[in-house]
Amino acid sequence: MKKIVLIRHGQSLWNLENKFTGWTDVDLSDNGLEEARKAGKILAQNGYCFDLAYTSVLKRSIRTLWLVLHEMDLMWIPVFKCWKLNERHYGALQGLNKQETIEKYGEEQVHLWRRSVDVRPPALTPDDERYEADDPKYKSLKKGEFPLTENLSDTEKRVVSYWHEKIAPAILQGQKVIISAHGNTLRALIKYLDQIPGDGIASLNIPTGTPLVYELNDNLVPIRHYYLGIEGPIPQENIPRHIIHSPK
């Protein structure tokens, strides 16, 4: 049996301000910093240890990982950063307030943009200042690879390709792995691992800064999964489809 830990970054400044974030590189809020430290403590208290870590190139997930590894005294382990683990690109919605967007376009449209698998938010244009293809952190992207907008399926393709290229081979070699990423990146990975069809993933919301353990069989098929450190009943919207129970 293999065990991996997924963690969505702690609360970011734009989570706090209720803004669409996507690839905008905002940092953690004070609460998010605290969530990340708490996650590291909980992992250490539960006897977790990692050989390798994976994260995006966005500072909210990198800093979350740093704080987790700091609390676990594991800052020395190799950390691999890749844009393929970035949050879903939110196109022209990036920077807009979610509530104001609902007031302008209606609840139903905004829900489709946020949670549908195949609807893409309005695209950025390459002359938009939010189009950051020239940022050095994206110099490894091939021409045309930098997204102007993405739906969850687009995100799933890049996340799953990285899973097969890098993460799965490491797990199969026996490495203990933590992945620090983003709400929609982790939803996409869970959709793939748990083979959740179509819009079955629409209602899943991953809580910030909360370790989610996946136990996998030798073929990397999920056996069960559970959160660490949630006190009281787990809200239904936080529970991936196959969840069985939380550890004692």
Ligand X SMILES: O=C(O)[C@@H](CO)OP(=O)(O)O
Does 198 belong to an annotated binding site? no
Does 98 belong to an annotated binding site? yes
Which CA distances in Å does 199 have to 86, 99, 114?
21, 23, 12
Residue 184 in the binding site for ligand X (CB under 6 A): yes
From 87, 156, 182, 225, active-site residue: 87
Which residues inside 39-58 make contact with ligand X, applying CB under 6 A?
none
Q: Is 9 one of the annotated active-site residues of the chain?
A: yes
Interface region with ligand X, contact rule CB under 6 A, candidates 13-21, 26-34, 196-204, 214-222? 13-21
Residue 183 in the binding site for ligand X (CB under 6 A): yes
CA angle 74, 239, 232 (to 5 degrees): 80
Interface region with ligand X, contact rule CB under 6 A, candidates 15-23, 61-69, 101-109, 163-171? 15-23
Question: Which residues sit opposite 214 in a β-bridge?
Answer: 4, 225
Smallest CA-to-CA distance from 86 within 14, 146, 131, 136 is with: 146
In the block, tokens 């990285």 appear at 162
Q: Which is nearer to ligand X, 20 or 162 (CB)?
A: 20
Contact between residue 185 and residue 206 where contact means Cβ atoms under 8 Å apart = no
Centre a 10 Å sphere on the Cβ of residue 248 and count the other Cβ atoms it contains: 3
- Pick the binder of ligand X from 38, 81, 84, 114 (CB under 6 A): 114
Q: Is 87 one of the annotated active-site residues of the chain?
A: yes
Does 183 belong to an annotated binding site? yes
Q: Which is nearer to ligand X, 35 or 87 (CB)?
A: 87
Instruction: Name, in order, each residue with C-beta under 8 angstroms of 137's C-beta and a sequence gap of 6 or more.
Output: 57, 83
Distance CA 44, CA 70 (A): 10
Centre a 10 Å sphere on the Cβ of residue 99 and count the other Cβ atoms it contains: 11
Q: Which is nearer to ligand X, 23 or 48 (CB)?
A: 23
Please state the closest distance from residue 20 (CB atom) to ligand X, in A.
4
Residue 180 in the binding site for ligand X (CB under 6 A): no
In the block, tokens 């390459």 appear at 126
Centre a 10 Å sphere on the Cβ of residue 73 and count the other Cβ atoms it contains: 10
Which CA distances in Å does 40 have to 5, 46, 50, 145, 196?
11, 10, 12, 34, 29
Residue 20 in the binding site for ligand X (CB under 6 A): yes
Does 217 belong to an annotated binding site? no
Please state the closest distance from residue 87 (CB atom) to ligand X, in A.
5
Residue 21 in the binding site for ligand X (CB under 6 A): yes
Question: Which chain residues interact with ligand X by CB under 6 A?
Answer: 15, 20-22, 87, 90, 114, 183-184
Binding-site residues for substrate = 8-15, 21-22, 60, 87-90, 98, 114-115, 183-184
Binding-site residues = 8-15, 21-22, 60, 87-90, 98, 114-115, 183-184
Catalytic residue numbers read: 9, 87
